[in-house]
Structure 1
Amino acid sequence: MTSNSQTAAGSGHDALPDKQSEIMRKAIRLEWISIAIVAAVITMVGLVMGQSQAMRVAWVEDILALLPPIAFLVATRVIRRGPSRDHPYGHHRAIGVGHLVSAVALFAMGALLLVDSAIGLLMVDKPPIGMTVLFGHAIWAGWPMVAAMLVAVPPMVVLGRMKLKLSEELHDKVLFADADMLKADWMTGLATVVGVLGIGMGLWWADAAAAIAVSASIVKDGVTNVRAAVTGLTDARAKTHDDKGPHPLTVEVEEKAREVPWVKEARARVRDEGHVFHVEMFVVPLLGMDPTPAQIVELRTTLEDLDWKVHDVVVAVVDELRPEQVPAD
């Protein structure tokens, strides 16, 4: 006997309770603010970057930093659509697609800049930083570069921390990847300052070395995020927002099901749909017990009440737990 959830998969916004809906609205506002700030930084850095490799790395990174917030805003529009015949689970997975877009951008940016910086170092490319005129005074062109980077760093730190907190509250991996991108952004800014000052001190290689160090860090973050995004889209076990391990709910739903008096065994397949989880709960009743439809519905409701992320639940009553259905850990 199988009981499907009587509630539809619903749109992404329907799935969020009041608290999370308010957090979502806050995240959307924050992303628009982020786009405006990053656009201003791109313009500022573009005006002063000169021939510095590290400055060029920072400028390209700032441009690519626009992708995660744009991906998030697009995904939040897509998840508004409800389920249909063609999309019976709704459009929650748009969050996973947005995560993949952000992750690929992060990796591509790091790889491109790493290769470019390494070539510059091997070719003994000595970036010239001469003099410039500012407000009628001749100054070393490196000072405006350093100033631009130091101005750009604090907003990136603040925005990154805010997005990191919201990503955990919403279980939103796009926001988490965005926060990761901003972390790479401010790290690039500080490394660029070191590289430019190194050139001023006569260390021609400092610029390329700083760019290589930051690019390698960005590549590492990109690989981690791409792996996590692909894993999520291929129906792996649901994990935490930062992909550090299985989500606690994957175990809690099984424990809650085993507390039901008529249940002998229970195992779940929990799939991350974006902000919410789809749960297939396989239960073996006690010998001689034949659960009624009302009891199955009660179990499903109990699981859905466990946490707002447990949004779409299917309860299947089986005579035994087969490995192909629920493999052992």
Structure 2
Amino acid sequence: MDVYTNLKQGERGAWISIFAYVFCSILKIGVAILTGSAALMADGLNNTTDVVASVAVLIGLRISRKPRDRDHPYGHFRAETIAALVASFIMLYVGIDVITGAIPSMFNPDPVAPGMIAGYTALATSVIMFGVYRYNLKLAQKINSQALRAAAQDNRSDALVSIGTFIGIAGAQFQLQWLDPLAAVVVGVLIIKTGWEIFRETVHRLTDGFEESKLEDLRSTIADINGVERISDIKARYHGSSVLVDVVVHVDPELNVVESHTITEEIEDRMRRDHKIYDVHIHIEPEHERARE
């Protein structure tokens, strides 16, 4: 399965998120108007912003599928990483908004307890979003999509927000109105934490950062290939969900061109088979006798 097929599958997850958010936001806002639940209204408005995040992910995945052109000889795969970055910004905003909206509620002198239909609505939509989260997370792991993984984390955050809304509404029935803002603050902190982790990872990738442990794994795989005498340099960077590898390999200077080329083909095959890496630039150097000793 190539990277373009993976990106096309990722769009399916983005569409599922969009449909789920549109349905949940309409349902929550409608029930909130009928029951007078401010918490459910805020939850529904939160889902409307998530539609924007999911659309950003969808656009990023679609741009990533565009073929290479004169201005983008490496393709458009980093659009997917930018989409994940946009999703992280929206999650950070939502987390801060949830917390700042909950704090004034702690000092409300005359809270009103909405009907439990609002709580059940929040609980039902949380189940829906947990289902979408599990689906998108599994798909993201299958196709190795950073943008879809960010969308999945957003799905989980919204499921947690809805659970917090349910707890707050349920507590209000027993005059425990403080549960609502407390649950909202806790959930807001979790959303900010998740958004920050996605932001940090995407910035690391956009600045060509690559984990040292993974680079060592690639080096070990190449070093084990028959005919590779030494690796003098190896670099790797993310390009969307794919990885680009540049490596300088030293071989026996007595090998002819065909034999050296066979080694490069083996390196490419091992990268594809063991690490799902399809773009490897290999530079062959003759290993001098003194270095070999």
Structure-2-length-normalised TM-score:
0.85
Residue matched to 1:187: 160
- Tell me the equivalent position of 1:197: 170
Structure 2 unaligned spans of 5+: 288-293
Partners in 1 of 2:135 and 2:74 — Cα distance? 30
Q: Secondary structure at the match of 1:305?
A: helix
Runs of 4+ in structure 1 off by over 6 angstroms are none
Deviation at 1:198?
Answer: 1.4
The amino acid across from 1:313 in the alignment is: V
Q: Name structure 1 gaps, 5 residues minimum.
A: 1-12, 130-140, 239-244, 321-329
Match of 2:219 among 254, 268, 273: 254
Give the corresponding residue for 1:157.
Answer: 130
Find the aligned partners of 1:24 and 1:116 in 2 and give their Cα distance: 37
Read off the aligned partner of 1:114 and give its amino acid letter. I
Opposite residue 211 of structure 1, the aligned amino acid is: A
Select the structure that is richer in helix.
2
Supply the AA of the counterpart residue of 2:237. Answer: R
1:186 Cα deviation from its structure 2 partner? 1.2
> What is the 5 A alignment of 1:86-97?
86-97=71-82
Shift of 1:24: 4.7
1:316 maps to which of 267, 276, 283? 283
Question: CA 1:81–1:301 in structure 2 vs 1: closer, same or farther (change >3 Å)?
Answer: farther
Aligned residue pairs total 281
Aligned: 1:76 with 2:61 = yes
Deviation track 1:42-85 (CA, whole Å, cap 9, x = no partner) reads 01111223564532442233123223432232122212222233
Q: CA deviation at 1:91?
A: 0.8
Tell me the alpha carbon deviations over residues 131-166 of structure 1, each in whole angstroms, 9 at most, x when there is no partner: xxxxxxxxxx42221121122122211111111111
Distance, in Å, in 2 between the alignment partners of 1:58 and 1:71 is 20
* Pair 1:269 & 2:235 matched: yes
1:292 Cα deviation after fit = 5.0
CA distance 1:265–1:28, change in 2 (3 Å): closer
Q: Is the 8 A contact 1:103 1:226 kept in 2?
A: yes
Residue number in structure 1 paired with 2:121: 148
Residue 261 of structure 1 and its aligned partner are, at CA, apart by: 1.4
The Cα of 1:192 is off from its aligned counterpart by: 0.8
Whole-angstrom CA distance in 2 between matches of 1:107 and 1:215 = 9
Please tell me whether the aligned partners of residues 228 and 251 of structure 2 are also in contact (alpha carbons under 8 angstroms).
yes
SS of the equivalent of 1:272 reads strand
Indicate conservation of the 8 Å contact 1:98/1:174, yes or no.
yes
What's the TM-score once normalised by structure 1's chain length? Answer: 0.76
Q: Identical aligned pairs, as a percentage? A: 23
Can you list the C-alpha shifts for 1:285-313, whole angstroms capped at 9, x where unaligned? Answer: 45xx2665545543443233232732222
User: Could you say if the C-alpha distance between residues 30 and 261 of structure 1 is closer, same or farther in structure 2, counting changes exceeding 3 Å?
Assistant: closer
3-state DSSP class of the match of 1:91? coil
Question: Aligned residue for 1:208?
Answer: 181
Structure 1 residue 229, shift from structure 2 partner = 0.9
Pick one of 121, 124, 128 that aligns with 2:108: 124
Comparing 92-101 with 200-209, greater Cα deviation is found at: 200-209
Identify the match of residue 305 of structure 1 among 252, 269, 273. Answer: 269
- RMSD of the alignment, in Å? 2.6
Residues 247-284 of structure 1: CA deviation (Å, up to 9, x unaligned): 4xx34432232224143235421111122111011223
Find the counterpart in structure 1 of residue 147 from structure 2.
174
User: 2: distance between equivalents of 1:67 and 1:298?
Assistant: 49
